[in-house]
């Protein structure tokens, strides 16, 4: 059996009939970088969203700044950037469980029976939210090296140390040394550009990146606790199968760790991967009028369609046009269409002298549960129609290999795809990317807010992000100000890490806070119900307060209390209609207060 598996594996990879054949990631090169089979280096950046409210002016600034800062790396071949965006309404339940778990732990610590509250919150929010992720996958490829550098690498590889005979294990020497400096500079430039346009990012550690890849390959099996086995990790014990093949004593290949389900082609567009049915499509004609990403997002949000979209941006667009331009020049006299192509290519070549011109491939996919093939076709139709109306582009569902078409939109496993390559100015490409997604400064929070288009926005009061907190809430009557304030106060009570009920004082003109206090009182054990109390003040002797009373054990007021008493006496001595008291009244009031407590 082992012999036949070894014999047929190359043919299986050649025709790409297995998920493994699409995965080119080989191993981890360092803590934040992966290496591909051809020596390319890959870094994964999670895009949390923008830290500012984006209007037309901010959007234009982001596009111009990103084109200038990031585009400088794409004027020649060798660098690539995959912009990957996914939305899945079915995964939001798992995300809500993660966000709610710290608050549930706090409720248990302080003795609040609030499980029904958390369950109802999750059930209600699932109707309006969708799970969302965005990544920038940065590739530095061997094509960025000069011919002399490549020749030197070949000579060094012949003289240098070689890895063991382990074809079914990771090769920790896969990454090219000559690419490391280029790649680090590339990643630093992209991160700096994103930070300048107020986009919140995080460079994923190698294990986190592999986990994100696996979760997006198999959404129904997403598990953030899973970790890949990489160089430096304990090697899982395996029985040796050969005296010469050392694969069993090294780290298992990443393509096998990521391939946890088989793929099966159902028809010309549908593929079954694990327990999900998939269908893909490619953009064959890029948008003629580049439109902001939220227009596409809003159309698909209303339809509730899960989808992923991949923008593969590669440098060297001007070099890729040279052969086409040569052919267009030769055949330009044959008909008017060839002449138009010639003029278009000449225009792009002229544009490439002043701004970067890149190669662009756009692929997308959607999915449904096994047995719901008609639902999948409906979702694919909705997705194609939404994309085609997004800037007037053309989308094709037909591909020679439906599995290859689906895997073209996968996150960060290769730098290839079935979509035809478009040559476009970097500025126009930047307009299509999801810059307008909002970002919360809190990774977790006891208050779960949401955006109008269904992205969860955690919020946490009283954290160490700032030294002082002021929440200013204004709206017309009946808009929900009191509900929001009660929600924020409840979030304060359920702040992660608390061991006892915090001190919260609410001064309210009206009874709106009584509902929150009553809920907390009912959630506490009967022996602790007194810890939450609501008092409605009345203008009667029973509610009278002597402002001159001192704190327990004090014979004199504290500094702040003395200042308050002086201001109170000064106010009482101010004649009606005057803005301030007579001269010397404030000093006299201070003497009176001091003398009163002295006796």
Distances (CA, A) of 16 to 20, 102, 147, 214, 217: 8, 44, 31, 19, 16
In a 3-state reduction of DSSP, which class is residue 515?
helix
Q: pLDDT-based confidence at 528, cuts 50/70/90?
A: very high
Query: Residues 446, 110: contact at Cβ < 8 Å?
Result: no
Q: pLDDT-based confidence at 292, cuts 50/70/90?
A: very high
More confident residue, 407 or 391: 407
Q: What is the pLDDT of residues 379-394, one digit of tens each?
A: 999 999 999 999 888 9
Predicted pLDDT at 75: 82
pLDDT of 232 higher than 70: yes
What is the three-state SS of 393-410?
CEEECCCCCHHHHHHCCC
Query: Residues 134, 78: contact at Cβ < 8 Å?
Result: no
Q: What is the pLDDT of residues 418-435, one digit of tens each?
A: 999 888 889 999 999 999
What does the CA dihedral 59, 65, 68, 73 come to, rounded to 10 degrees?
A: -90
Q: pLDDT-based confidence at 166, cuts 50/70/90?
A: confident
499 token code pair: 């061991």
Q: What are phi and psi of 325, to 5 degrees?
A: -65, -35
* Residue 222: how many other CB atoms lie within 10 Å: 19
Q: What is the pLDDT of residues 324-381, one digit of tens each?
A: 555 556 555 566 666 666 666 666 666 666 678 899 999 999 999 998 999 999 999 9
Q: What is the pLDDT of residues 38-89, one digit of tens each?
A: 999 999 999 999 999 899 999 999 999 999 999 888 888 889 999 999 999 9
Q: What are phi and psi of 70, to 5 degrees?
A: -80, -40
Residues facing residue 327 across a β-bridge = none
State pTM to two decimals: 0.86
- DSSP one-letter string for 320-373: HHHHHHHHHHHHTTT-HHHHHHHHHHHHHHHHTTTS-EEEEEEEEEEEEETT-H
Q: How far apart are CA 180 and CA 41, in angstroms?
A: 7
* Residue 347: how many other CB atoms lie within 10 Å: 11
Predicted pLDDT at 8: 45
What is the three-state SS of 551-590?
CCCCCCCCHHHHHHHHHHHHHHCCCCCCCCCCCCHHHHHH
Q: What is the pLDDT of residues 266-289, one digit of tens each?
A: 989 999 999 999 999 999 988 888
Q: pLDDT-based confidence at 13, cuts 50/70/90?
A: very low
Q: How far apart are CA 32 and CA 22, in angstroms?
A: 22
Q: How far apart are CA 463 and CA 455, in angstroms?
A: 22
pLDDT of 10 higher than 70: no
581 token code pair: 């008291």
Predicted pLDDT at 92: 94
pLDDT of 411 higher than 80: yes
Distances (CA, A) of 438 to 309, 386, 450, 470: 19, 22, 10, 21
pLDDT of 247 higher than 80: no
Predicted pLDDT at 7: 46
Q: pLDDT-based confidence at 15, cuts 50/70/90?
A: very low
Distances (CA, A) of 459 to 450, 465, 503: 10, 12, 20
pLDDT of 200 higher than 90: yes
Query: Residues 37, 24: contact at Cβ < 8 Å?
Result: yes
226 token code pair: 């899973």
Calculate mean pLDDT across residues 8-30.
73
Query: Residues 189, 69: contact at Cβ < 8 Å?
Result: yes
- DSSP one-letter string for 56-94: HHHHHHHHHHHHHHHHGGGSSTTEEEEEEEEEEGGGHHH
Q: What is the pLDDT of residues 464-479, one digit of tens each?
A: 887 888 888 999 988 9
Residue closest to 268 by CA, chosen among 109, 189, 380, 180: 380
Q: pLDDT-based confidence at 4, cuts 50/70/90?
A: very low
How would you label 408-438 residue by residue, b for 16+ Cβ within 10 Å and e otherwise?
bbbbbbbbebbbeebbbbbbbbbbbbbbbbb
């Amino acid at each position: 059996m082992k012999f036949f598996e070894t014999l047929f594996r190359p043919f299986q990879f050649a025709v790409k009939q297995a998920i493994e054949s699409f995965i080119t990631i080989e191993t981890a090169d360092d803590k934040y970088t992966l290496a591909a089979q051809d020596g390319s280096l890959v870094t994964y950046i999670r895009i949390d969203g923008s830290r500012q409210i984006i209007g037309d002016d901010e959007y234009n600034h982001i596009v111009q700044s990103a084109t200038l800062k990031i585009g400088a790396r794409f004027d020649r071949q060798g660098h690539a950037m995959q912009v990957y965006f996914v939305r899945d309404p079915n995964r939001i339940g798992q995300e809500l469980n993660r966000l709610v778990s710290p608050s549930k732990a706090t409720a248990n610590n302080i003795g609040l029976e609030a499980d029904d509250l958390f369950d109802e919150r999750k059930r209600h929010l699932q109707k309006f939210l969708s799970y969302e992720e965005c990544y920038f996958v940065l590739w530095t490829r061997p094509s960025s090296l000069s011919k002399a550098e490549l020749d030197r690498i070949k000579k060094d590889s012949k003289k240098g140390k070689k890895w063991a005979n382990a074809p079914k294990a990771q090769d920790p020497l896969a990454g090219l040394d000559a690419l490391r400096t280029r790649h680090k500079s590339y990643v630093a430039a992209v991160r700096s550009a994103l930070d300048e346009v107020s986009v919140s990012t995080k460079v994923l550690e190698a294990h986190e990146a592999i986990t994100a890849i696996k979760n997006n390959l198999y959404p129904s099996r997403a598990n953030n606790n899973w970790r890949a086995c990489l160089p430096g990790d304990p090697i899982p014990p395996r029985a040796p199968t050969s005296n010469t093949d050392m694969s069993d004593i090294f780290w298992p290949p990443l393509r096998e760790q990521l391939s946890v389900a088989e793929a099966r082609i159902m028809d010309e567009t549908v593929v079954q991967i694990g327990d999900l049915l998939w269908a893909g499509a490619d953009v064959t004609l890029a948008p003629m009028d580049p439109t902001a990403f939220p227009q596409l997002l809003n159309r698909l949000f209303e339809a509730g369609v899960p989808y992923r979209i991949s923008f593969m941006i590669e440098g060297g667009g001007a070099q890729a046009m040279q052969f086409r331009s040569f052919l267009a020049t030769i055949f330009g006299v044959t008909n008017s269409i060839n002449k138009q192509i010639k003029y278009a290519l000449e225009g792009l070549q002229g544009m490439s002298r002043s701004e970067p011109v890149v190669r662009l491939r756009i692929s997308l996919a959607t999915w449904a549960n096994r047995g719901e093939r008609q639902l999948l076709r409906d979702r694919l139709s909705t997705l194609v129609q939404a994309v085609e109306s997004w800037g007037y582009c053309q989308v094709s569902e037909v591909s020679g290999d439906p599995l290859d078409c689906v895997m073209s939109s996968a996150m960060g496993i290769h730098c290839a795809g079935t979509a035809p390559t478009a040559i476009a100015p970097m500025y126009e490409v930047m307009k299509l990317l999801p810059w307008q997604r909002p970002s919360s400064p809190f990774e977790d929070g006891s208050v779960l807010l949401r955006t109008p288009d269904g992205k969860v926005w955690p919020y946490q009061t009283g954290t160490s992000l700032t030294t002082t907190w002021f929440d200013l809430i204004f709206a017309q009557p009946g808009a929900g100000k009191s509900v929001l304030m009660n929600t924020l106060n409840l979030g304060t009570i359920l702040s992660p890490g608390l061991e006892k009920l915090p001190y919260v004082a609410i001064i309210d003109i009206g009874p709106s806070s009584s509902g929150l206090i009553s809920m907390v009182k009912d959630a506490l054990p009967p022996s602790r119900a007194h810890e939450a109390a609501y008092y409605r003040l009345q203008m009667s002797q029973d509610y009278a307060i002597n402002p001159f009373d001192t704190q327990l054990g004090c014979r004199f007021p504290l500094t702040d209390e003395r200042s308050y008493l002086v201001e109170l006496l000064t106010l009482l001595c101010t004649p009606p209609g005057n803005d301030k008291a007579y001269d010397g009244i404030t000093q006299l009031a201070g003497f009176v207060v001091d003398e009163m407590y002295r006796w």
